[in-house]
Structure 1
Amino acid sequence: MTASAPPRPRMLVVGDVMTDVIVRPDGPLVVGSDRRAKIGLYPGGSGCNQAAWLAHFGIPVAFAGRVGRRDLAEQEQALRDAGVVPVLSADDERTTGMLIVILSEDGERSFLTDRGANDGLSAEDLPFSMLNQIDLVHVSGYSLFTPGPRAAVMALMAVARARGITVTVDPASVGFLEEVGPSNFLGWTSDASIIFPNAEEALCLTGTRNTAEQIRFLTARYDLAVIKRGAEGAEAANLSVRLKAPAPKVEVADTTGAGDAFLAGFLAAHLAGKGIDACLHRGVEAGARATTVLGGRPTAGDPLPRVWGEV
């Protein structure tokens, strides 16, 4: 029997492909000596994680990115296994990106990042034809922090907007935001209509800790600002409404991918035609429950349902 073809993607995610090395030390690091730890390898990359969560919530989605050639078949299969249509390019010089995640006792993370093949993403990897029949393009901010990938992604975003396709973006990394300058990032993402910063990224982009001023600043530049505030939940606002949602109480195992699950939950509800309030609450629920499992992607044992109602 011939396998049925996957449904036409409604969304295109452009972003990074990483292998996550997650390290959970048994206690504080001992400089110059040993500390016992649990170490595991997981598929990662913010954009890949977001695509996997979107597929988990029933959204037909494609992911575009770049990997080392020797990993191409494995990375494509990992995306297919997650329900994502892979659109990967192979890099003959760089290896697939790698990220070391060091977890503290409360599940918070510190990162060491080798971007690898992600920094070779080019216009040839992102032909405008991939926008055909797409309803929404989401861009992981990691794709904008290096000149070559940035030019390719910005061109794709501009064409998407010109075609009336919704473009969304998440800043992805406060460290890289500070490195490139927030004003530059704001300019690079002017074709996006929705932005998804976390609390630290919102502070960096706006230059203020006052949450009301953050909202005013961002909604003057984007149609909708959705700010993830960790244990405090999240809020979403446009020029006429500001809504908040508290975070459910859960036992945190690993916060890796929580923001990616939040974004996927929000956008899955958005594509289903839900209002901002429903989108926000579904995002918060997804993000909170994602912290109860290790790694940044959904697995067979995830506590979240694969499809939420009409989504």
Structure 2
Amino acid sequence: MRVVVVGDAGVDLLARPEGGIVPGGDVRAGARLACGGAGANTARTLRACGAEPTLVARIGADAGGRLVRAELAAAGVDCAFAVDPETATCCVVVLLDTEGQRSMLADRGAAARLRPEDVEAGLPGGAAHVHLSGYVLLEESSRPAGLAALAAARSAGMSTSVDPQAAALLTDAGAFLADIHGVDLLLPNAGELAALTGSPDPASAATLLGTVGAVAVTSGEHGAAWVDRGGMTTVAAEPVDCVDSTGAGDAFDAGVLTAWLRGHSPGGILRSGTRLAARTITHLGAQLVTY
């Protein structure tokens, strides 16, 4: 099962300060460098689930880009990367608190310059599905590439999915919904759902069914819900200790997509997503190494 992911690939710098940050001062912290980017996170987890992912992304001609390509390729992800000679690879500083919750300082770098021709060159033949990271649509510089990916998928008869990705960036819900009209599956978290419908209640996803075919909502420790014309199905979250919440939603997407594309029931689809999200938050870094 070949799945195309269109989204960011980059480097995460994870830091857990020992106590509060002191402006102008020094604070000791645990820190590590890891591969990240919403598109890359989902693609790597898709591979761990047995899918054959192709990641369409734009990276810089720098050490970060070389690291990301090498790690993803070693994990079995087909890297259809355009290389930007002028802009650095996406880099995100991830600040972790004592509960494992993350705050991110993101520089999308080359990812923000993804172009329609990058997508056209990277789409492989024989793919079943295209998954688009909302970050691509939510920045004007990369939005045409996101629209091109959805249009190409429809023309080729592939199914499509979109993760809105960032509630704070969904400042024009109407424009975003117009961009994704006709998408088969929308994958918001509760905050993103609230930005699109006015409510974080999964039941509000029913109002989106005139725009998308189905909605899979993740609500963190409160579980997840599947909403389609047949009604709503919910499952509980798996109880685990959270070390690092980075990438949980991206892993949820991968689990949902593989189960959905294999024809599982709504409950099975959701359990696949919540299981992978739970595994991801038990270790540092956004990407599953094994499954």
Match of residue 218 from structure 2: 228
Q: Which runs of 5+ in 2 are unaligned?
A: none
In 1, are the aligned partners of 2:2 and 2:126 still within 8 Å (CA)?
yes
Q: 2:260 aligns with which of 270, 278, 286?
A: 270
Q: 1:192 aligns with which of 165, 183, 200?
A: 183
- Following the alignment from structure 2 to structure 1, what is the Cα–Cα distance between the partners of residues 62 and 272? 38
Q: What does residue range 120-199 of structure 1 map to in structure 2 within 5 Å?
A: 120-127=113-120, 130-178=123-171, 181-199=172-190
Shift >6 Å, 4+ stretches: none
The letter for the 2-side match of 1:134 is A
- Following the alignment from structure 2 to structure 1, what is the Cα–Cα distance between the partners of residues 202 and 47? 32
Q: 2:198 aligns with which of 207, 217, 220?
A: 207
Q: Which runs of 5+ in 1 are unaligned?
A: 1-8, 306-311
Match of residue 273 from structure 2: 283
Percent identity of paired positions between Structure 1 and Structure 2: 34
1:106 and 2:96 aligned: no
Question: In the TM superposition, what whole-angstrom CA distance separates every residue of 1:135-173 from its partner, at most 9, and x where no partner exists?
Answer: 000000011122232112212211211332101000111
1:12 and 2:4 aligned: yes
Question: Cα RMSD between the aligned structures?
Answer: 1.5
In 1, are the aligned partners of 2:190 and 2:202 still within 8 Å (CA)?
no
The letter for the 2-side match of 1:36 is R
Match of residue 209 from structure 2: 219
Q: TM-score, normalising length from structure 1?
A: 0.89
Secondary structure at 1:286 match in 2:
helix
- Following the alignment from structure 2 to structure 1, what is the Cα–Cα distance between the partners of residues 200 and 6? 30
- Following the alignment from structure 2 to structure 1, what is the Cα–Cα distance between the partners of residues 101 and 66? 32
In 1, are the aligned partners of 2:100 and 2:243 still within 8 Å (CA)?
yes
- Following the alignment from structure 2 to structure 1, what is the Cα–Cα distance between the partners of residues 43 and 254? 8
Number of corresponding residues: 290
Q: TM-score, normalising length from structure 2?
A: 0.95
Question: In the TM superposition, what whole-angstrom CA distance separates every residue of 1:179-221 from its partner, at most 9, and x where no partner exists?
Answer: xx11111111114110000010000111124442x22212232
In 2, are the aligned partners of 1:13 and 1:63 still within 8 Å (CA)?
yes
- Following the alignment from structure 2 to structure 1, what is the Cα–Cα distance between the partners of residues 205 and 167? 18
In 1, are the aligned partners of 2:11 and 2:89 still within 8 Å (CA)?
yes
Match of residue 21 from structure 2: 29
In 2, are the aligned partners of 1:220 and 1:239 still within 8 Å (CA)?
no
Match of residue 51 from structure 1: 43
- Following the alignment from structure 1 to structure 2, what is the Cα–Cα distance between the partners of residues 132 and 88? 16
